[in-house]
Amino acid sequence: MKIAWEEQGDGAPLLLIQGLGYGRWSWDPVVPALAERYRVLWFDNRGIGDSDKPEGPYTAKLMADDALQVLDEAGVTRAHLLGASLGGMIAQEIAAGAPGRVDKLILCCTTPGGEATVPMPTVTVRLFDEAPSLPPEVALRRFVENALAADASAELIQELYDRRVANPPDPQGWHAQAAAGRGFEGVNGAIAAPTLIVTGTEDNVVDPHNADVLAERIRGAEVQRIDNAGHLFFWEQPDAFVRIISEFLQ
């Protein structure tokens, strides 16, 4: 597998794992500030960007092996893990299956998987149902708006929309990644790493109550809620996000 990855900064390694349909570009709002404190590594999951796009379906476990490959190629034995959405499921697989590779674990806007998951909010389910009947550019803008809080600025919406247009996901890769999210049933075994769970209070994509369910399943886990933030809170409130992450890791 070719997995495209980058690194910046010096210090304790911190691996960023992104979610469905987003390439490594989507960490741009927070990488510079995090790299002031950590050796940040971030990459394109299989199925998107400059990484290979093998035929799916994928699984979170398979994509976890790709993340470990990045650590291997970077010569990193142990790292802090930060996963968002589908990336949070991937990070859980690593923490449970390869605990020796994980220092601290940060799970953002994600779910515990399986029957324990609080269902996707109705507004997003309806958008997925409606999207095929919309012009593609209209559907894309609606998905961008839906991933942010209701009071997100027009400038932020336009910036994300433009970045999505400039970095379109591979259709086959998107569906293969989506299968990994749908098929995630949770991890086998306990997660022992110190864990922080972060959610936006206005997340329309992953119900914020999933943070509490995750916290009940991971002993000692801490929950942080970012007020007035949607699913992509690291775009909406990058300074608050970096502060929360840095305080936990320190």
Query: What are the pLDDT digits (tens) for 37-95?
Result: 999 999 999 999 999 999 999 999 999 999 999 999 999 999 999 999 999 999 999 99
One-letter amino acid for residue 133 of the chain: S
Residues 92-104, mean pLDDT to the nearest whole number: 98
Nearest-CA neighbor of 45 among 209, 237, 181?
Answer: 181
Assign 132 a pLDDT band (cuts: 50, 70, 90): very high
Range of the domain at 66: 5-119+170-249
**Domain-located, residue 153:** no
d(CA 145, CA 181): 21
**Domain-located, residue 157:** no
**Domain-located, residue 124:** no
**Domain-located, residue 126:** no
The number of C-alpha atoms within 13 Å of 181 and in the hemisphere containing its C-beta is 22
Number of domains in the chain: 1
* pLDDT of res. 126: 97
d(CA 178, CA 195): 25
**78: CATH:** 3.40.50.1820
With 90 as the cut, is the pLDDT of residue 217 above it? yes
Phi, psi of 227 (to 5 degrees): -65, 145
Assign 195 a pLDDT band (cuts: 50, 70, 90): very high
- Residues contacting residue 161 through CB under 8 Å, at least 6 positions apart: 140, 141, 144
Cis amide prior to 57 (ω within 30 degrees): yes
* pLDDT of res. 189: 87
Nearest-CA neighbor of 50 among 72, 71, 23?
Answer: 23
**Domain-located, residue 178:** yes
* pLDDT of res. 199: 98
Count the Cβ atoms, other than its own, within 10 Å of residue 8: 14
Assign 118 a pLDDT band (cuts: 50, 70, 90): very high
With 90 as the cut, is the pLDDT of residue 188 above it? no
Residues 12-19, mean pLDDT to the nearest whole number: 98
* pLDDT mean across residues, the chain: 97
With 90 as the cut, is the pLDDT of residue 105 above it? yes
d(CA 58, CA 46): 9
Residues 6-17, mean pLDDT to the nearest whole number: 98
Count the Cβ atoms, other than its own, within 10 Å of residue 239: 10
**Domain-located, residue 133:** no
With 90 as the cut, is the pLDDT of residue 230 above it? yes
**Domain-located, residue 151:** no
**Domain-located, residue 149:** no
